[in-house]
Amino acid sequence: MKSAANINAPAIKSASNTWRVFAIASIAIFMVSLDTTILYAGFNNILQSFPNAKASDLSWAMSAYSIVYAALLIPAGGIADKYGRKKIFILGTLLFIAASFACGASPSVFWLIVARVFQSIGACLLSPAALALVLEAFPKEKRSVAMGAWGAVGALAAALGPGIGSFIIDVGGWEWAFFINIPIGLFCIWLSATQLRESAHPRKKIRLDWLGMLQLMVGVSAITFGIVEMKTGAWDTTGLIGFILAGILVLLSYIPWAKFNPEPLFDLSLFKNRTFLFANLAGFTFAIAFSIMFFSFFFWMKEIWHYPQTLAGTAIMPGPLSVVPTAIIAGKLASKIGHRPLLIAGSITYALSGLWYMLIPEANPNYLQHWLPGMLLSGMSIGLVMPSLSAAAVHALPPKDYAVGSAINHAIRQIGTVIGVAITVLLLAKAPLQIIDFKTTYAIHISLALITALLCIPINTKPKRK
């Protein structure tokens, strides 16, 4: 008997709708990416609306989302493969917009965090399903181009998020930064139901590795808690270091568990693939650097240059906008020369952008000369690195592992994002901020970018000559 994948894949590819599949999947990814950048922009506004909350409390609205996303994304990939990517994609989108409404209606930081957890579950279901639908729709020789365009979609959302989010927050309040997801998501569901074909790789059985997910969530949460609370004065430094070390031990305890468990959260044997291993390690370090950089931009614009909300968001847009054309060009180049040259060049350029921010901007605003060049440099760097890492991670995997492999890659990057947010809150969530406070932030940015470049050296996706 032919599997659902064998029945449906030719229909998807033979029709002239490969880019239509891409467009529909991209709407949902755009919505998820937009929501993330909007929250960065609205951090201070949300904090001000809850007078009894601390910055460290609100940071969990961001961190809880990423932690749950990282833990559930991997089994979500397997669920999409088994039960149907279209079906799970629609279900995830529906849950995401329902949780978005709950976020906007939250009466306290606690309920906002709870709503963000459910929003994360929705994102977990739709993200790997969306990427698997796209990979299934394109022939293998065209996937680098598709992944370049896929990275450009996320970059476009990141570019528009600060400006759109800041404008929405100024006009309607931070609540509408979440409510905006509802019409976008409903439109995506309608298109999916009417135009997508089902795609799946049926598996005999899927058992959720609850202990593995718990190890991941507890470990990352403990590390994040230790970093975020380091300067609040509420905890002893030795105790917080203990939290961090305990979190690392919990994460490491997954290794023997995965070897013992016949169906672990993710199969460690995938990491025997050298390119998959180093693409994920590089994705982790680059995600930390990226979240530190992006989050710190808003602190600089509002606390050092005292830009109003909408102007601060607009000022950050040129960098992410430059990611879009760079990602598309990088995808085309990667199909000819492989990803390694792009990754190394992008990582080194990203380190140079951190050096620019460390040395050039001053207390007196001079956007065109002191800030814009660094934004463009960082944007082009991200366009070279992020989509290339995503593509490299799944390059050598068989079709049955597309969703799971991409889910592992995104989960690891989400963990990096959590760590980056925690570091930024530790260093910059205080008043009054001074320029000297940003020096350490950008030193970490530069170091992580250079480490990423080193980790990209073993990655090999260069096409073989026929």
Structure tokens at 198: 């089902």
Specify the pLDDT at position 405. Answer: 79
Type of residue found at 168: I
Identify the three-state secondary structure at position 175: coil
Cα–Cα distance list, 300 to 187, 223, 266, 292, 444 (Å)? 36, 26, 39, 12, 16
Task: Specify the DSSP class assigned to residue 197.
Answer: P
C-alpha closest to that of 200 among 280, 74, 72, 82: 82
**Least confident piece of the model among 11-20, 75-84, 142-151, 245-254:** 11-20
pTM for the structure as a whole: 0.81
In angstroms, the CA 109 to CA 64 distance is: 12
Lowest-confidence range among 69-78, 162-171, 188-197, 417-426? Answer: 69-78
Residue 194 to residue 184: CA distance in whole angstroms: 16
Both tokens of residue 99? Answer: 């949780």
Given a cut of 70, whether residue 390 has pLDDT beyond it is: yes
Calpha distance 80→40 (Å, rounded): 29
pLDDT at residue 324 above 90? no
Average pLDDT score over the chain:
84
Sign of the four-CA dihedral 462, 464, 465, 466: negative
Closest CA to 266 of 83, 77, 459, 417: 77
8 Å CB contact between 304 and 433:
yes
- Return the HEC string of 116-146: HHHHHHHHHHHHHHHHHHHHHHCCHHHHHHH
Q: How far apart are CA 432 and CA 53, in angstroms?
A: 18
Please tell me whether residue 253 adopts helix, strand or coil conformation. coil
